[in-house]
């Protein structure tokens, strides 16, 4: 018989102990931003070199704005990476992110349908990877965690697979048998 008892005290997600991302996660984030900003700055320098009218108007604002935006972005990356964290627990995985708007996502392991590990060229060079976790019914990842070491991603995926296998084994072993010894359920 199904029962649904009232809880007197709710579990506190603030008590979760989060493990920081891999050591090279900050380097990856900084290099990714630089790989965006450097070509942008070169393109603007080329436009200013060949278009003197544009250069006369935009040169001073560009010389002030672009380096300022670059420095602010790099400082934001430092805060962002330091605040991110992951926690593996017995029945769920929790991920914390956000500088201004902080978010904690807790995904029950029982809901995870499959996992993917993604590694771009820069991530491979730094020994990092991104872990994507998908639950039933979703077209996109329910949880995307970047900045983990490749070994951590493989360990987490293996833990989830073992959890799923153990859960399926316990469900099948507790299912009643029909008259012709087939599982019912």
Q: What is the pLDDT of residues 52-98, one digit of tens each?
A: 898 888 888 888 888 899 899 999 999 999 999 999 999 999 999 99
Residue 165 burial (C-beta neighbours within 10 Å; 0-12, 13-18, 19+): exposed
Q: Residue 138 in contact with residue 128, Cβ under 8 Å?
A: no
Domain shared by 69 and 109, yes or no: no
Q: Judge if 41 and 90 occupy the same domain.
A: no
Please report the pLDDT score of residue 142 as a whole number.
87
Answer yes or no: are the C-beta atoms of 72 and 30 closer than 8 Å. Answer: no
In a domain, 9, yes or no: no
User: 62 Cβ partners below 8 Å, 6+ apart?
Assistant: 44, 48
Please state whether the predicted TM-score (pTM) of the whole model is above 0.75. yes
Domain count, the chain: 2
**Both 118 and 143 in a single domain?**
yes
Residue labelled with tokens 């820069």? 122
Specify whether 149 is located in the same domain as 96.
yes
Domain check: are 113 and 143 in the same one?
Answer: yes
Domain boundary among 33, 55, 81: 81
Q: How many CB atoms lie within 10 A of CB 156?
A: 19
**Low-confidence residues in the chain, pLDDT < 50:** 183-185
- At residue 159, the pLDDT reads 95
Q: Residue 98: what pLDDT?
A: 94
What distance in Å separates the CA atoms of residue 131 and residue 141, rounded to the nearest whole number? 9
Domain range enclosing 159: 86-174
Cα 83 off chain centre by: 13
Q: How far apart are CA 55 and CA 63, in angstroms?
A: 11
Domain boundary among 81, 99, 124: 81
């Amino acid at each position: 018989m199904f029962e649904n008892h009232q809880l007197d005290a709710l579990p506190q997600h603030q008590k979760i102990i989060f493990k920081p991302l891999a050591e090279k996660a900050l380097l990856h984030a900084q290099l990714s931003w630089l790989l965006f900003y450097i070509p942008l700055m070169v393109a603007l320098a080329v436009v200013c070199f060949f278009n003197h009218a544009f250069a006369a108007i935009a040169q001073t604002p560009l010389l002030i704005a672009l380096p300022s935006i670059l420095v602010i972005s790099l400082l934001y990356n430092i805060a962002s990476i330091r605040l991110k964290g992951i926690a593996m627990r017995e029945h769920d995985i929790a991920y914390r992110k956000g500088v201004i708007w902080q978010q904690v996502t807790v995904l029950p392991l029982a809901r995870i349908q499959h996992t993917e590990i993604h590694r771009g060229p820069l991530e491979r060079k730094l020994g990092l990877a991104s872990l994507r976790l998908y639950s039933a019914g979703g077209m996109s990842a329910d949880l995307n965690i970047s900045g983990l070491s490749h070994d951590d991603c493989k360990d987490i995926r293996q833990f989830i697979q073992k959890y799923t296998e153990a859960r399926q084994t316990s469900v099948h072993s507790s299912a009643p048998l029909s008259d012709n010894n087939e599982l019912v359920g």
